[in-house]
Amino acid sequence: MKILGNFIIPLFLSVLLIYDFFPSLQNIFYIPRSLLIALMLIAIVLFAIINYTNKNKEKTSVKFKVFITIYLLALTALLTVLGGHSLSGISIKNPLIWLIAIVTVLEGFKTKKQQNNILD
């Protein structure tokens, strides 16, 4: 169940980013907006339930935050290289995106270091 939760969120975020970068795909593979929103809400609830029942949720959430941040940056870069252009202004050149990514990764490393110090 934990593995399922760790793949659902990135999968839906990927679909949303792809739709944002390549809106013409909606002509080929149309997913109604209401269905996308419903699926995202279901994924968030499932992920919350899975993390709530996980005994190592603090450790898992740190790893997941760092993973999802790096994954979304890499996906944004890939979609840009493939010729996509974000309709919502998400760009690898946006300094705010980099600032958020750096803060998230540094916070993850800091939390991980604190957890290791507690265990020692």
pLDDT of residue 11: 82
Q: What is the pLDDT of residue 7?
A: 76
State the Cα–Cα distance between residues 118 and 120, nearest whole angstrom: 6
Over residues 32-60, mean pLDDT:
67
pLDDT attached to residue 120: 57
Q: What is the pLDDT of residue 74?
A: 93
Structure tokens at 5: 């939760």
Q: What per-residue confidence (pLDDT) applies to 75?
A: 93
* Residues 93, 99 contacting (CB under 8 angstroms): no
User: What's the whole-number mean pLDDT along residues 14-41?
Assistant: 79
Position 86 scores a pLDDT of 86
> Residue 107 has what pLDDT?
85
Quick check: 1 pLDDT over 50?
Answer: no
For 14-23, 40-49, 74-83, 91-100, which range has the lowest pLDDT when averaged over its residues?
40-49
CA-wise closest residue to 85 among 26, 20, 41: 20
